[in-house]
Amino acid sequence: MPAGEIAQVLGVKASTLSTYLGTLMQVGLITQMRVGTSLLYTVDMAQVRVTFDYILLDCCRGRPEICAHDPIPDLNGVSPMEDRKFNVLFICTGNSARSIMAETILRESAGERFVAHSAGTKPQSELNPFAVQVLRDKDHDVTPLRAKTLAEFQGADAPKFDFVFTVCDLAANEECPPWPGQPISGHWGLPDPVKVEGTSAEKALAFQQTYGAMRRRIEAFTALPLEALDRIALQSAVDDIGRS
């Protein structure tokens, strides 16, 4: 389309349009072709699609409601999840209680479908003894558990994650490098049982309550028909679980 027609349709001055067209060409969203004495502009739909993919799936993390008023349909890569084992990472600050519980619950309740991991942004040297005791009381195997740093899961040999969940507000608010493969992410924040003061019985109760809340969320997650949901529907579902 000639620049004059574009300016007429948009109702903008030629000088203003020239600036806009130059910017769009610079980022590859339109192309320019000379026909005789006229310059014709064409939308590069392939590059537009790539840009929408980036905005919707990366910047907006699959949440179209924060990108636009209406969902953008039929984007490349927005497809149902594959039928395979899914890698899941739970993140908190210390990796000594909440994320350790989440890793253990998912591994032992749905290990045939998920590979569970956990890590901390500032991991403790030891697991919280109340958390370990709760897991033992629930007949979980605590032998393989240890506090781990995020760096263990950011190297070239690290697993490619399908889901990354933060389970504490501090970890959710920290800047982390982007995860390869654009995993589904969610915030499943729970109050920190470590901060509860009182008797040993009162502290133990706080950890029991945290375990129960985490287990309910993981049960809701493992009940999702992952293979039937596209990324946008799945992102919405994990966000709903985090609000439950």
Cite the active site residues. Answer: 92, 168, 176
Q: Which residue has the tokens 């004495």?
A: 37
Give dist(CA 119, CA 103) in Å, integer.
9
Closest residue by Cα to residue 187 from 56, 81, 90, 78 = 90
Contact 217, 242 (CB under 8 A): yes
Number of CB atoms found within 10 A of residue 178's CB: 8
Distance CA 1, CA 73 (A): 26
Asked if residues 68 and 49 have their Cβ atoms less than 8 Å apart, the reply is: no
Please, are residues 31 and 38 in contact by the beta-carbon 8 Å criterion? no
Name the residue among 186, 235, 190 with its Cα closest to residue 99: 190
What is the Cα–Cα distance from 227 to 207, expressed in whole angstroms?
A: 33
Using DSSP, state whether 114 is helix, strand or coil: strand
